[in-house]
């Protein structure tokens, strides 16, 4: 028999790839940080001897979810700005609040709260775009979650950088520091086309291509953004990005609520990845990403929660459900956006968007042991007719019992295990009592 560190057995295992199917009475064998085998439980137990055998008698085991767009520390502004459209929300509420509270403590505590919430809801990888990314990196490495840090690049001075050039210098230094890290890597994070000069945007595109770095950018978030671009430039931001080399498989275009047929073809032809944030877009009345048309054109579509200030929750299962319902409604087709397709979007779709599909996103031998278990005995999951439907349309986000990243249990029996996020609720309440910005 081959030895391994851990075998996880469950009534249902959903590997997502190479086949997106529900496997009954299967087990996953893990050695160190890596999955080494998946198979029928009887076969795994005959061929592998484990130091630990986790027998889950009423659970679904599946890959950890991937939240492909988040502003993590904004958990501390959850509910601070409500019922406003994007422009007013940003300029009148969020930016002044951030200016009042932005420091190391705010980013560290807010990120800890976000990571804890995501782990408890089954997210094992997330992409962040926020100030003081070096503090975000410290939290991620301390807790052990997988992350892409898209450091924010904005023309105007802020709490982290004095200019776009300053942000690039600081962000690239962080990239050099983390370039060999297995859990956390750095990406370029131009906030948007409108928050940078034409020369700065072109320079960022060139840096991304030259240094082979991912780029994540808010793109076509609202109809007004697109209308303003046509008025000022005579073209859309998607067209502008195509001209300067800021489209491609290394680019993660976030939101994309306004997409013409010609622009959709540009996205598909360049293999640009799209990140859909349905709840945030709806809450800010920003529009809706045409996910069905994009997917039919072969575009990789992933899911993001956006920040807790515009979503209020970081529950990617809820996001997958919202994406499904929106696609059904928009297309007037109840058969659109099936639960299986949404689970793929929340896992492998995210991995492909981040260029991490060889590492995570599915349960396959050789990939990182990033996986979760959902308790189907939870009241919001009963009874279960179909495991995919139970996960996407049931209450799976509140039924996660175990969360593993790189073979390490960060949630066990529904409880967070890392020491650094103990007493978190008390620390957040204490911060809020002293630093409450409104």
- Is the residue at 427 inside a domain? no
Say if residue 277 is in the same domain as residue 175: yes
Say if residue 240 is in the same domain as residue 124: yes
- Is the residue at 399 inside a domain? yes
Rounded Cα distance between 374 and 61, Å, is 7
Question: Which CATH number is 416's domain given?
Answer: 2.30.40.10
Q: Quickly list DSSP for 251-277.
A: EEEEE-----HHHHHHHHHHT-EEEE-
Beta carbons of 327 and 292 less than 8 angstroms apart: yes
Say if residue 26 is in the same domain as residue 90: no
Question: Which CATH number is 208's domain given?
Answer: 3.20.20.140
- Is the residue at 429 inside a domain? no
Q: By CB neighbour count within 10 A (0-12 exposed, 13-18 middle, 19+ buried), where does 352 fall?
A: buried
- Is the residue at 435 inside a domain? no
- Is the residue at 306 inside a domain? yes
Question: Looking at 320, 353, 386, which one is the last position of a domain?
Answer: 353
Say if residue 301 is in the same domain as residue 241: yes
- Is the residue at 431 inside a domain? no
- Is the residue at 223 inside a domain? yes
Say if residue 75 is in the same domain as residue 217: yes
Say if residue 8 is in the same domain as residue 155: no
Range of the domain at 236: 65-353
Query: What pTM, to 2 d.p., does this model score?
Result: 0.98
Number of domains into which the chain is organized = 2
- pLDDT tens, position by position, 323-359: 999 999 999 999 999 999 999 999 999 999 999 999 9
User: Largest Cα–Cα distance of the chain, in whole Å?
Assistant: 69
Tens of each residue's pLDDT in the chain, 438 residues = 899 999 999 999 999 999 999 999 999 999 999 999 999 999 999 999 999 999 999 999 999 999 999 999 999 999 998 999 888 898 899 989 999 999 999 999 999 999 999 999 999 999 999 999 999 999 999 999 999 999 999 999 998 999 999 999 999 999 999 999 999 999 999 999 999 999 999 999 999 999 999 999 999 999 999 999 999 999 999 999 999 999 999 999 999 999 999 999 999 999 999 999 999 999 999 999 999 999 999 999 999 999 999 999 999 999 999 999 999 999 999 999 999 999 999 999 999 999 999 999 999 999 999 999 999 999 999 999 999 999 999 999 999 999 999 999 999 999 999 998 889 999 999 999 998 776
- Is the residue at 360 inside a domain? no
Say if residue 341 is in the same domain as residue 245: yes
Contacts of 21 (CB under 8 A, 6+ apart): 14, 15
């Amino acid at each position: 028999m081959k030895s391994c560190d851990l075998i996880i057995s469950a009534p249902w295992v959903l590997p997502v790839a190479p086949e997106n199917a529900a496997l009954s009475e299967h087990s996953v064998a893990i050695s160190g940080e890596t999955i080494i085998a998946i198979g029928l439980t009887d076969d795994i137990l005959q061929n592998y001897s484990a130091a630990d055998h986790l027998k889950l008698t009423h659970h679904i085991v599946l890959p950890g979810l991937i939240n492909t767009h988040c502003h993590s520390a904004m958990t501390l502004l959850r509910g601070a700005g409500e019922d406003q459209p994007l422009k007013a929300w940003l300029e009148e509420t969020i930016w002044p609040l951030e200016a009042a509270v932005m420091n190391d403590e705010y980013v560290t505590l807010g990120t800890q709260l976000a990571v804890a919430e995501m782990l408890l809801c089954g997210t094992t990888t997330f992409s962040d775009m926020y100030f003081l990314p070096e503090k975000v990196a410290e939290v991620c490495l301390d807790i052990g979650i997988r992350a892409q840090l898209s450091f924010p690049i904005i023309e105007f001075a802020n709490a982290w950088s004095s200019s776009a050039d300053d942000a690039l210098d600081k962000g690239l230094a962080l990239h050099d520091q983390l370039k060999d890290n297995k859990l956390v890597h750095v990406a370029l994070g131009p906030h948007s086309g409108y928050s940078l000069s034409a020369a700065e945007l072109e320079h960022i595109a060139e840096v991304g291509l030259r240094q082979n770095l991912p780029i994540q950018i808010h793109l076509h978030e609202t109809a007004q953004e697109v209308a303003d671009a046509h008025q000022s430039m005579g073209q859309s931001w998607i067209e502008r990005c195509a001209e300067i080399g800021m489209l491609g498989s290394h680019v993660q275009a976030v939101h994309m609520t306004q997409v013409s047929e010609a622009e959709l073809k540009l996205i598909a032809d360049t293999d640009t990845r799209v990140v859909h944030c349905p709840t945030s877009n709806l809450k800010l009345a920003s529009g809706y990403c045409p996910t069905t048309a994009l997917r039919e054109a072969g575009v990789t579509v992933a899911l993001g929660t956006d920040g807790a200030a515009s979503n209020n929750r970081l529950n990617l299962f809820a996001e997958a459900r919202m994406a499904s319902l929106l696609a059904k409604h928009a297309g007037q087709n109840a058969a659109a956006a099936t639960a299986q397709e949404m689970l793929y979007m929340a896992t492998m779709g995210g991995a492909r968007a981040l260029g991490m599909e060889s590492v995570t996103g599915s349960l396959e031998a050789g990939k990182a042991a990033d996986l979760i278990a959902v308790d189907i005995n939870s009241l919001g999951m009963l009874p279960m007719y179909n495991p995919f439907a139970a996960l996407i349309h049931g209450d799976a986000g509140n039924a996660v019992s175990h969360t593993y990243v790189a073979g390490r249990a960060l949630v066990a029996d529904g409880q967070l295990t890392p020491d650094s996020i103990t007493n978190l609720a008390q620390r957040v309440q204490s911060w809020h009592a002293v630093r409450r910005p409104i």
